[in-house]
Each structure stands twice: as structure tokens, then as C-alpha cells.
Structure 1
Amino acid sequence: MCSFKPSKLFSYSAFTLIFSSVVCQAATPTEAQWQALVTQAVTPVMQHNNIAGLSVALTVNGQAHYFNYGIAARDSGQKVSENTLFEVGSVSKTFTATLAGYAQATGKLDLSSKASTLWPALKGTAFDNISVLQLGTYSAGGLPLQFPAEADSADKMLGYYQQWQPQYPAGSHRQYSNPSLGLFGYLAAKSLGQPFDQAMTQILLPKLGLQHTFLSVPPAQSKLYAQGYDSADQPVRVSPGALDAEAYGMKTSAADLLRYVEAQLKPASLAPDLQKAIALTHNGYYRVGDMTQGLGWERYAYPISLEKLLNGNSTAMAMQAHKTDWLTPPQPEPANVLFNKTGSTRGFGAYVAFVPSQKIGIVILANKNYPNAERVKIAHTIFGALVD
């Protein structure tokens, strides 16, 4: 196991602390030590943001640890557990990307194909010149963060895509976008000959061994579905929208999401086609500053300062266009790299980070949409307390 020094938790400046390298040592932390470490990191954040419930799952060298705080719903007082279901927002994009990777690995999809070849209704539009890969890496030419309200439904999205005009040449700029990643997932499912919901729930999730992860929470699991709370602390859950399942529709638990992280850390335990799919999501396709864009995942050279990680998960990174520096061919996963992804809906906030070379990963789920920076700092604090 890996040892840590809780006394280091807040002894460094937040913007100069470097993620410590994790090296296994003889001493095995007790569960009480793990609990103290996580509690010290999350309690101030929960209090400051009035978060009703939060769950942290940590894997270190294949050992899972779960830490649960608060309540899943204020009206019932039900406590959060590692089996509580949370909306994970854009963390869903990593599942969508893995489905596309699976479609490519099984010969059903070519990521270099133009979007309109997979959806003939797009022929004669800008999508004649935009590849599936560009959609999956937010580089189609400036698709916006969200669909316009008048186009945000399944029956109106095609008309929106048909009239949309890019601001930039395809591939030249990164513009984080639900319509971009959503269409990517939609086309991946088309290549598999199935609707997206069916392809995800009947192909990918079973192959990953995830039995507690859903696009639509079944009635039998409804009591485990946490209630989200908006900025005014009013109860809210995710609303239907165009390509919502593909871009931000997943609901899962800390335990199941940690299993997913462990699949990223140890893909050799999976079937060969799924190993190839995960490798495709871990590839680096282009750089923007210190961030290298994968499929769904975003990655950084490890170790990394908190300042750089905060910049990569900033509002500016999500809301503004950034010039891309493409890697040709795509760069396979390096020896030392950190992957991460944030996700939010109106009532929930999620964060996932993992370092394959160090066999460590973290999942943070809350029933409140609180700032990404706070999530990153929690993970940074916990990772930083693991010492060599």
C-alpha cells in the first residue's frame, strides 16, 4: 500500500503544490487515517457551497476506499452511500467516447470519416468537411457549448445542424461543446446500427461490468437516485434535451464509477476490443496549452502543479475557443500522465482523475453544482498527501 502524511494537507500554497509521486511503502494507512484525510479536504468545501451530500471514492494500488458525507435528499434525510446515484454531467462524454472507440476497434467506424457520410441528411452542409474525430475533440469549427433553446430537442436538432455555419476551419480551434460531442456519440451509435441508448446500455456498460450506471434510472433503483439542488438550493434534476444522453445524461454511483476508473488503470483485464477502445480515448490528439485532448478525457504531463490543472479546468477553457496544436499521428498514452474530466448538471457536480503509472484514481460526486476549481483542489489535496 501507499503511505501518506495528513500533516501535509494544507502546508503548501495551493498554487505551488505539485502532485506527489505515489510510491508503495511498507506502512498501510488505517481506514481512520484515510477518513481523516478525505474529511479534512471535503468538509470546508461542503460547508462553503452548502452541499447536501457528497461521495468520494479512491483507488490506490487496486484497493478501493469509500467516504460518504451528508444526505442524498433533504426531504427524506437518506444518507449518501457509495451506491447513491448521482448525475455526472459531462463525465458522460468519456463513456460516449469509449463507445465510439469500441465502434472503431470492431471495424464499424472510421474516426476519419466525414460526418455526412454517416448521416446522409447532413450532406450538402458544413459536415461534408468535418470528421467524426473533430466532433469528438470539439474541433468542428465552433459549435457552441449548448444547443440554442429553439433547437434543443430531438426533433429540431437536425435542422440546426443543417443550417449551422462554422466560425473556424475544421480542426483549427477547440470549442468545448455539447452539440459537437453529442453528434459524435450519435454517429458512433449509427455506425453500430443501434440507437445510442441501446448501444450504451446493451453493449458498452455490460462489457465494462457496470451494473449500477444508467441513462434512465429504472424504477427499482429510484430510491437510490439523489436529489440535486440548484444554486438557490431548490430541488432539480436534469431535463431532457437534444443529444442529452450522449453529452451529459449518465447517472451512476461512486462505486460503479470507481470500477470504471479501475478499467482505465488496468485495461488489460478487459476484452481486446475494449482495451483498444480505451486506448483510443487515452490517445492525445492535439494540445491546448498544458492540456492534451483525448476522446472524452483530458490529460496532462505528470506530475502537474495545481495552477496548471486549474487552468485546464477553468471557465475560460470551457467557454472560449483555443487554437489547436495537432499531434500527427495521435500520441499514445505516455508513461506519466494524469487524466481528468469534470461534469455538471444544474443540480450535480462530478470530478474524476486518475494516474495510471501510479495506480491511483479518485471520484468525487455531489448533489450540487459547485465550482470546478473546488473539485480539482479536493483531488489535489488528497493526491498531494500521498508521499514518496
Structure 2
Amino acid sequence: MSGLAEGRRAVPLSVARSAARLAVALAALLLGGAIASAGEDRLARIVDDAVRPLMAEHDVPGMAVGIAVGGQRRVFSYGVASKADGREVTADTLFEIGSVSKTFTATLGAYAEERGVLALSDMAARRLPALAGTSFDGVSLLDLATYAAGGLPLQVPRGLDSADDVVRFCRSWRPDFPPGERRLYSNVSIGLFGHIVARSLGRPFDGAMPELVFAPLGLTRTYLHVPAARMGDYAMGYARDGSAVRVTPGAFDDEAYGAKTTAADLLRFVAANMDGAELDDGLRRAIEVTHRGRFRVGGMIQGLGWEMVEAPVTLKRLQAANASAMIFDPQPAERLDPPQAPQPGALLGKTGSTNGFGAYAAFVPSRGVGIVLLANRNYPISARIAAAHRILRELGAVAH
């Protein structure tokens, strides 16, 4: 609600933000102190105990795990980046992060709004005239960014090899539901959103993202297209049948699932989501916008890119929020108006997969604790969630 309950005094926004930051800093300090008091090896033991059994059970060749806690960031490396030549995973190893890329796309969209070149409430057809006179006259950019357009498909249909091909497909698309009534996870939806955002910024997506998001955040080892000089650091991925694979280029791949990065860079992004005090004010505000819940979908709250689980963040609740039904089946969606900011104890996270890689990034803003798991095998999402929850639980960031 926009108003205040009777008898309550309004707190200036600047004061509220300062108090919130102080609370996060205090929680992070306490957690950091707890780890330090137990010895420097405690965090390594916590991560080892969760990751090594996971790798053995699911035959994961290599992993990189990043932990942000107590104002500090640490990365742990395991196994090999390539089984063919035995290259070990290091701090420089690049992993495909699949749909975790959507959090970057969401950030770019929110930043475009902050710069005044578009509004999330704009209808898609207004920003992309090729869609005028179609179902997209009534679909907002926010609907696209939150998979609530009305039933766009999960994957780009076969035979559509370019953005223009997908736009032509969208011209004849007919929704299964009114916009905002159902959430159906969709690469086409977020891909079209990113495409429109980049057009509104007057540049191609693969130019806008590095310039406006990666570089300002200091992500010097994050790419949509891995340069030739870094190909030696690019891990080989392994599909569930054991074959060596890397992501295949396709329409809207950059926007939906195309980023490649190191654990240290992704952890830096997570840390910036928890504390953007050192960022440009516009980018900091844009990141805050991505955290606001737009739809309640069962036990999950859909933000921009990020997906939120409210406290207490038990393993059962976190698994339910990341169950296969949340990916493949349309889910009733309750629009949140006004958008909901993360409450104390809430976790924001995002999973991502390509045929040969599996990723997860999550953080608990009120506790100042974040985690990234990068692996060069597409292993079950439920296993990633369980490992991450175990680590976060040991750090006191989530519930048992």
C-alpha cells in the first residue's frame, strides 16, 4: 500500500536506507566474525563438505564456488575444466551460466528505465513497431520480463535463427492467457524483452550489455562472446550423457542464456546486488528495481530476473520454488501492486543451465551473504539447491 497506517510516523527514505544498510553491515560483520573466530579453514570445510559429495554423486568434472560473507569474497575451485587435457579449474576458468544471464538482462532493462529511454509499463508494440496491431499491443515490457505475457514458449521454435525470425513468429502468436494471469517461464519472453531494451538504447544487445552493465560493475571476465585470447580459460561442458558440449548460438541466446563468466566475477555481481554503495547511483537504483517482487507464484515471488523466497528459507520451500513445474508449466500469478521489496531473511536467486553446464546464484540481502555455484555439467537443479542451502544454513543465513 502507498499510505501509512494511522498513528505511524513516516521515516525519510534516506534514513530508512541508511538503517537497512547498517543492519546488513552488522549482520555481515557478525557472520564474518563468527567464521574468523572458528578459524580460517571453517568456510573451506563448509564448502568442501557440501561440494565434494555432490560432484561424486553427479559425476561433475569441475566446479567453482564463490562465497560472499562478512564483507569478504572467497572462491574455491574443484576438479578439471576439461577431461580431455586435464586442465584444472582455476580462478580464471570461464563457465556458461545459462539462465542466470537473465539477471543481467533484467539489470540492463531496469537501467534503461532509470536513464529514461523506456518504462517497464510501456507496451511491447510501442517500443517495437513491427509488433503493432498484434497481441503485443496489450503486453507490457514488465510482462515480458516476468514471463507473464500470456504463454510464450520456453524455447525459441526450431527454424527461427535470428531476432527478425522471432519477431515474425511473435506477430502471429496468440496468447493462451490474458497478460499477467499466468507465469510461464520463457526464453522467448525475456529474449524479446532484452531485444526491445537494446533497440531503445540505440545499440545491439551484445554492445549494450558489456558497456552499460559488465564494465560499470567491474566484471572484466564476463562475456557474451568469449574472445580468442580467453578461449584457453573456457571450460568444456559435459552433457548428462557425458558428451563434451558448449552452448550453440541461436536467436536471443545472449539475452536469455548466453553469458560466460568466472565464479569471482559472478560473485562480484552478487555482492553488488547486496551492497551497491560504490556504484553509480543510476545503476545502483536499477539493481534495486530488479529485486522488487512483481508476481506471487505459489511459494515464489518473481522479480526482474531474480526469484525470491521469503523467510523462513527452508530447503523444502527453496526446492519447491525451483521445481520443474515452475519451468515447464503455466502457474497462476498474483500481481503485486505496489511491487514488494525483499523482507528480512528473504533469499533472491536464479538457476541456469545449458546442455553442458549448471549454475546457481543466490543471496540473502538482510544477512549480507551470497553464493555462486558453477559447474561444467548440467546436473540436477535440486542438487544445486540442496548444496547451496546447506552452505547458507551453515553460515546462519537461512533456516534449517
Q: TM over 0.5, yes or no?
A: yes
Q: 1:301 aligns with which of 303, 310, 324?
A: 310
| Correspondence list, 1:355-370, <5 A | 355-370=364-379
Residue 280 (1) aligns with residue 296 (2):
no
Q: CA deviation at 1:65?
A: 1.6
C-alpha distance in 2, partners of 1:223/1:269? 32
Partner residue in 1 for 2:170 = 161
Q: 1:44 aligns with which of 48, 53, 56?
A: 53
Change over 3 Å in CA distance of 1:37–1:237 after alignment to 2: same
Partner residue in 1 for 2:233 = 224
Partner residue in 2 for 1:11 = none
Amino acid at match of 1:63: Q
Change over 3 Å in CA distance of 1:220–1:376 after alignment to 2: same
Secondary structure of the 1:109 match is: coil
Answer with 263-272 or 130-139: which moved more: 263-272
Q: 1:380 aligns with which of 381, 385, 389?
A: 389
Gaps spanning 5+ residues in structure 2: where? 1-26
Partner residue in 1 for 2:198 = 189
Q: 1:249 aligns with which of 251, 258, 263?
A: 258
Partner residue in 1 for 2:147 = 138
Q: 1:204 aligns with which of 180, 204, 213?
A: 213
Change over 3 Å in CA distance of 1:332–1:34 after alignment to 2: closer
Change over 3 Å in CA distance of 1:191–1:381 after alignment to 2: same
Secondary structure of the 1:186 match is: helix
Partner residue in 1 for 2:380 = 371
C-alpha distance in 1, partners of 2:342/2:394? 25
C-alpha distance in 2, partners of 1:26/1:257? 25
Secondary structure of the 1:124 match is: coil
C-alpha distance in 1, partners of 2:390/2:353? 21
Residue 319 (1) aligns with residue 350 (2):
no
C-alpha distance in 2, partners of 1:30/1:255? 22
Partner residue in 1 for 2:271 = 262
C-alpha distance in 2, partners of 1:281/1:26? 31
Deviation digits for residues 218-241 of structure 1 (CA, Å, limit 9, x no counterpart) = 011111100001111111000011
Identity of aligned residues (%): 48
Secondary structure of the 1:47 match is: helix
The answer as to whether partners of 2:101 and 2:259 remain within 8 angstroms in 1 is yes
Partner residue in 1 for 2:117 = 108
The answer as to whether partners of 1:154 and 1:241 remain within 8 angstroms in 2 is no
| Correspondence list, 1:110-125, <5 A | 110-125=119-134
Q: CA deviation at 1:290?
A: 1.6
C-alpha distance in 1, partners of 2:192/2:34? 49
The answer as to whether partners of 2:35 and 2:43 remain within 8 angstroms in 1 is no
The answer as to whether partners of 1:57 and 1:82 remain within 8 angstroms in 2 is no
C-alpha distance in 2, partners of 1:153/1:387? 46
Q: Which runs of 4+ in 1 moved over 6 A?
A: none
| Correspondence list, 1:76-87, <5 A | 76-87=85-96
Partner residue in 1 for 2:301 = 292
RMSD: 1.4
Secondary structure of the 1:207 match is: coil
Answer with 26-35 or 337-346: which moved more: 26-35
TM-score (norm 1): 0.92
Q: Which has the higher contact order (CA 8 A, sep 6+)?
A: 1
C-alpha distance in 1, partners of 2:161/2:142? 23
- State the aligned residue count: 368
Amino acid at match of 2:145: G
